[in-house]
Amino acid sequence: MEHLRMNGAYWGLTALDLLGKIDALDSNEVIEWIMKCQHESGGFAGNIGHDPHMLYTLSAVQVLALFDKLNVLDADKVANYVSGLQNDDGSFTGDEWGEVDTRFSYLAICCLSILHRLDKINVEKAVNYIVSCKNVDGGFGCTPGGESHAGQIFCCVGALAVTGSLHHVDKDLLGWWLCERQVKSGGLNGRPEKLPDVCYSWWVLSSLIMIDRVHWINKDKLVKFILNCQDTENGGISDRPEDAVDVFHTYFGVAGLSLLEYPGVKAIDPAYALPVDVVNRIFFQK
Amino acid sequence: MHGRPRKALKPEDLAASAAKAEKLRILQSQFLFNHHQKIYTKEALELSGKLLEINPECYTAWNYRKLAVQHSLIEANSDPDSVKSFLDQELQLVENALRQNFKSYGAWHHRKWVLNKGHSSIEKELRLLDKLQNVDPRNFHAWNYRRFVAALLNRSDEDELNYTQDFIDKNISNYSAWHNRSVLLSSLMKKNVQGFSQKDEVLTREYELVREAVFTDEDDQSGWFYHRWLLDQTVKAESPLLDSSWPAHGSDITLSGDRCLDLGSSSPLNNYQFDSGLLPLILYFNQAVEGVNSSTVTFSSGFNMNKDAIWKPLSSNNFKTAQVWVAQLKLPKVELDSLQAYTIEVTVGHSQGIISSSGHYCRPSEFAFTVRVQHLKTKQAEGSGLEKISWGDENFHIYEFDSLESNLVIPLNHPSIQNEHESADSSWQAKIIDEEVNNFRELLDCKIGKLTLARLLTARDALMSLDKSVHSDEVLRLLSELMKLDPPHSRFYKDEHSLVLLKKVTSSRESLLSYCFRYRNLASSTSVNPICLRLNGLSLSRVGSFEKLLWVQMLDLSQNELRSIEGLEAMQLLSHLNLSKNKLGSFTALEPLRHLKSMKVLDLSYNEIGTHTIDSTRYLCSSPLSHSVGGEWDDSEIVTDGVSLANYWEAFLILKGLKLTQLDIAGNAIADEKFTAFLAKVLPALKWLDDVQLN
C-alpha cells in the first residue's frame, strides 16, 4: 500500500486531529516528506518516486492545511496542475492518462477552493458535468449513466456544496435513498442490498448532512455500530465488527463519530473533510 | 482492508506475510528504478507485469505500461501485427490483474486506454464482460465498462435493454440492472424510439415489472427507487406551469401608506403596507425556471406604470433559476386616486423564453387584479410604533370575516391561475395511478407497501384539477403507522407527515380561515394589522404549501419541531414571524430570511442555535465556504469592531441585510451577553431585543 501513503497520512493525521492528538507527530518531518512527493508539474504523488495524481494532491494540501502550513506551497503551481486536468466538457481527469470520474471533479474543486484558486477552472462547466451524472434515484455515478454509490455521492454533493450549487440536488429523493442505507445493525451500506461498512459512516453521513437530511437515520444505532467495530485491545476501527483494523477505516469511524456529535471528538466539516476549525481558519480569518 | 477477520496471526503466517511484503517491496523498487530510467526492455516489462498482477492498485506501474506502449508503438514502426500483439499483451495483463482485484480502477482504465488505441478486437470484450458480470453482477466498474464497450460497438439501447433484462430475470434483486434499465429507458423514451414513444404504455409495462420485484421480497430495496421514479414520470408536468401568484387572480388589493387608516370595506387579508411605494409581484411556478423577465411577463394597467420590471429569482447563490420569482412594481403614488380602483393585467409566457429543465413554458396564462390606494389620513402618534409585538394566545382572536368580505378573500380561493388547456390529458395518469393504488392496497403489512400507497394517494390528489386533498387523512394515517413500524426512519415519515398536514390545512378556504387570527389592540382601533396565520403547536417538523400562503404577512410557527424553514422565502410579504420553541440548530437554517426584506419582527427564542457542533445547513446557506457571497463579506470587518466575526459569521450573513425592529433570541445557547451586543451592532434599526428596549 506504499503507493497511497499520502492518503494514509491524511487519514491518520485527520483522525489524530479530531481526537485532539495531532501533536503526537513531528509536523516538520511530515511536511518535509510531503514536499518530496511534489513533482515539477505541481502535482503530488502518493509516495516518493511515484507519479503525481489528483488523489494525492488533495491529500497533500489537506495535510498542510491541518498543520496551518499552506504557505509552504506555491499555490499557483499546484492550482495550475489541477486546473490543467479539466476537460472541455467540464469533467476532470485524475492525471495525464485520461481517466475521467466525478471523484476527480470533487478533488479538483476541493483542492482549488482550499487554495483560494477556484477561479482557475470553469466552475459552471464543472458543475454541469456533475449534474449530468445524476441518476433517477437522486444519486450520482462516476460518469454519465454510472450507478449511484455512496462514495460517489459524497464526491458529487461535496463538489456541489463547495461551489454553492446544491440546488441541483433533489434533497428529498437523495435523502430517502441515503437514509435507507442504514441496515438493521445500525451500520450503513454504500448501495442497496450491500453489507454495512464503517467507511460509509463518512460517505453517507456527510452527504446527508450537506443536504440537511441527517435526522432521517437513527444516530444512536450508528454510533453503536461504529463503536462495535473498534478493536478495544489494540485500538483502531475496522469495516465491520471483528474484522482487522486499518487506518482508512479508523479515520472514517472517527470522522463518522464526529459527524454524529460524539463527545470528545472535534467537529469535522462535511464537504472539505477537514476539522471545522481548520476550514473556518481558511475561509473566515484574514 | 475489507472483510479480513481480526485475529492475531500465527508466527508462521506472520513470517509468510513479512516475506511477501519484502518481495513486493523489492519488486516495487526495481520497477521504480526502471520507470525513472525509462527502461522498457522485455525484462523490465515482465517485472512491472508481475508487480501489477500482485498489486493492481499500483497506479504508477499502469502509467509506466502506457509509456512503454507508446514507446513500442513508435519502435514497431506501424507494423500492424507487432502493434496488435503488444496491445494484446496489455489486455491479458489487465485480465490477470482483474482476477486479483475485480474493483481495480487502474486496471479497468488501462483496458479502456488500450482499446481506445483502436487496434484491438472489441467483440471479445463482450464475452469477457459476460464472464465477469456473471461472477459479480453488481460490479459497477463492469457495468460502466459495459456502457463504454456498447458505445464503441454502436449497440442499440434495445439490445442493451434485453441484456439488462436477462440479469433481472435471473435475479430480481439486482439494483445495478434496475439502474441500467432506468438509464436505457430514459434514453429510449427521450429519443421516441418505436415501442417507447407511448408514455402510458411504457409506464404500464414498467409498473408491472417492478411490482413483481417489490412484491417478491418486500424487504429487498432493488425495485423501490425504480417504482418511485415511475411515479415521478407519471405525474411530472412535461413543462413548467404557473402554480400561483400574488396578487392572485381577481383579487382586490388595498395599498396603504401607513398603519392608521380609515378602512371602510377593505379586507385586512388584502391590505398591503405600501410605505416604499413598491408593490411586490410574486410568481410561483411548479418547478424551477429561468427566463422570467420583462419580455416574457408583461403588464397592462390603467395608469402610467413602469413596465420594465426587474424580475429576481428567489434562489440562494444568485442562480438564474428559481421556482419563485419576484418583481417590485413601482406605482406612481401621486397619480393614483384613492377613490379609484386600477386593474393590472399580467400575462405570463406569451412570448417564449421561460424554460425549466423539463422544457419550455408553453401554456401562456394571464391574471388580473385591482389595486386601490388608501392615503393616510392621520399621522401615527409618535412612539406608538415602538410597542412590542407579543405573540401570546391572549392577544389573538379568531378572524371572522363577514359575508361582505367573502368575495374579497380571493387569495385563499385557489387555483387562481387560468391555464388555458387545463390538464385535459390527465386521464391516463389517473387510470395508471388508480390501478397501482389497488395493487398496493394488497401490500399493506410492510413499510414499502404503506409508503408507496401514501405516495400514490398524494400523487392522485395532485392530479385533481381543483387541488382537493380527498386522501389526505388516509395518507396521514399511513405515515403515522410508518413512524411506528420503522422507528430508525421515523423522522423521515414525520417530515412527510408535516407536508401532507399543511397541504390539508391549506386545501380549502374554510380550513385556512380557521387558522387566521386578528392581533389584539389593533383590531378595535381604526388601524389595520395584517391577519396572523397561526400554525403554532401543530407538531410540524417541516413547512410547505407556500404557493397557497403567498399573501401571509404575519405568521406564527412557534411550538413546532422545525429544524429548517426551507421554502419560506416565497412568502415575500412576511413582516412578522414567530419561530419560537422549535428545533432550529443554527443561523444558517434561516437562509430564507435573507430574501424577506419586509421582515420587521422576528422571534427565534428557545431554539437550539449554538447547541450543535455539526451544522446540517452549513452548505445550504450562501457563504464564503461555498463561494456564494461576494463583497458583503469582504467589507464586513468595519461593522463589528471588537467582536470576532469568525465566531458569528452565520448570524452576520443572515441578519445583516434585514431591517428588524424586534428580535427575540433568548433561550438559545448562543445568546450570551457578547452575542446580544453583537446583534445590536449588526441591526441598527432594532428597537426591541428580547425584553429590552434599545435606544
The whole-angstrom separation of Cα A174 and Cα A156 is 12
Which pLDDT band holds residue B524 (cuts at 50, 70, 90)?
very low
Whether B99 contacts B89, CB under 8 Å: no
* SS3 call for A193: coil
CA distance B634 to chain A (A): 10
Whether B636 contacts B681, CB under 8 Å: no
Among residues B551, B532, B267, B510, the alpha carbon closest in space to that of B398 is found at B532
Per the CB < 8 Å rule, is A193 touching B59?
A: no
Name the architecture of domain B11-195+208-215. Alpha Horseshoe (1.25)
Task: Provide the pLDDT for residue B640.
Answer: 56
Which pLDDT band holds residue B416 (cuts at 50, 70, 90)?
very low
Per the CB < 8 Å rule, is A147 touching B563?
A: no
The sign of the torsion formed by the CA atoms of B287, B288, B289, B293 equals positive
Q: pLDDT (tens digit, 9 = 90+) per residue, B574-593?
A: 999 999 999 999 999 999 99
Geometric angle at alpha carbon B113, from B110 and B115, rounded to 5°: 110
Residue B25: list chain A partners with CB under 8 A: 2
Q: What is the DSSP letter of B79?
A: -
Per the CB < 8 Å rule, is A162 touching B626?
A: yes
The whole-angstrom separation of Cα B212 and Cα B220 is 12
Element (H, E) at A103: helix A102-114
CA distance A207 to chain B (A): 10
Task: Provide the pLDDT for residue B306.
Answer: 66
Superfamily of domain B535-693: Ribonuclease Inhibitor (3.80.10.10)
Dihedral-angle region of residue B526 (phi above 0 means left; psi in -120 to 50 means alpha; beta otherwise)? alpha
Residue of A nearest to B21 (CA): A1
Nearest to A137 among B144, B225, B616 (CB): B225
CA distance A29 to chain B (A): 23
Task: Provide the pLDDT for residue B162.
Answer: 95
Residue of B nearest to A133 (CA): B183
Interface A-B, measured as beta-carbon pairs within 8 A, has a size of: 214
- Segment B119-143 shows an average pLDDT of 91
Which of A56-60, B179-183, B379-383, B655-659 bottoms out in mean pLDDT, i.e. has the lowest?
B379-383
Residue B4: list chain A partners with CB under 8 A: 243-244
Cα B340 → chain centroid: 43
Q: What is the DSSP letter of A118?
A: G
Element (H, E) at A247: helix A247-259
User: Does B11-195+208-215 match B535-693 in CATH topology?
Assistant: no
Residue B105: list chain A partners with CB under 8 A: 99, 101
Q: pLDDT (tens digit, 9 = 90+) per residue, B43-87?
A: 999 999 999 999 999 999 999 999 999 998 888 777 888 888 889
Residue A146: list chain B partners with CB under 8 A: 140, 143-144, 147
Whether A111 contacts A61, CB under 8 Å: yes
CA distance A79 to chain B (A): 17
Is this complex's ipTM strictly greater than 0.90? yes
Among residues B153, B232, B157, the alpha carbon closest in space to that of B192 is found at B157
Per the CB < 8 Å rule, is B176 touching A283?
A: no
Task: Provide the pLDDT for residue B121.
Answer: 86
pLDDT of B440 strictly over 60: yes
- Segment B269-292 shows an average pLDDT of 81
Per the CB < 8 Å rule, is A182 touching B489?
A: yes
Nearest to B144 among A143, A193, A208 (CB): A143
The whole-angstrom separation of Cα B416 and Cα B251 is 9
Q: Nearest 10 degrees: CA dihedral of A260, A263, A265, A271? A: 30
Mean of all residue pLDDT scores within chain B: 86
CA distance A262 to chain B (A): 10
Residue A193: list chain B partners with CB under 8 A: 138, 173, 175, 220-222
What are the φ/ψ torsions at residue B368 (nearest 5 degrees)?
A: -140, 150
Which of A237-246, B250-259, B527-536 bottoms out in mean pLDDT, i.e. has the lowest?
B250-259
pLDDT of B520 strictly over 90: no
Per the CB < 8 Å rule, is A146 touching B316?
A: no
Residue of B nearest to A152 (CA): B140
Per the CB < 8 Å rule, is A173 touching B228?
A: yes
Burial degree of A208 (CB within 10 A; 0-12, 13-18, 19+): buried
pLDDT of B510 strictly over 90: no
- Segment A138-145 shows an average pLDDT of 97
Residue A149: list chain B partners with CB under 8 A: 140
Residue of B nearest to A281 (CA): B646
Per the CB < 8 Å rule, is A193 touching B58?
A: no
Task: Give the domain ranges of chain B.
Answer: 11-195+208-215, 427-505, 535-693
Among residues B641, B602, B644, B645, the alpha carbon closest in space to that of B624 is found at B645
The whole-angstrom separation of Cα B310 and Cα B308 is 6
Q: pLDDT (tens digit, 9 = 90+) per residue, B334-367?
A: 556 666 778 889 999 888 899 998 889 888 888 8
Distances (CA, A) of B345 to B303, B368, B632: 12, 4, 37
Among residues A172, A173, A230, the alpha carbon closest in space to that of A201 is found at A230
Nearest to A238 among B6, B616, B624 (CB): B6
Q: What is the DSSP letter of A100?
A: B
pLDDT of B408 strictly over 50: no
Residue with cell 452575542: B675
Nearest to B186 among A136, A182, A245 (CB): A136
Q: pLDDT (tens digit, 9 = 90+) per residue, A205-221?
A: 999 999 999 999 999 99
Residue of A nearest to B63 (CA): A97
The whole-angstrom separation of Cα A90 and Cα A125 is 4
Residue of B nearest to A262 (CA): B613
Per the CB < 8 Å rule, is A212 touching B566?
A: yes
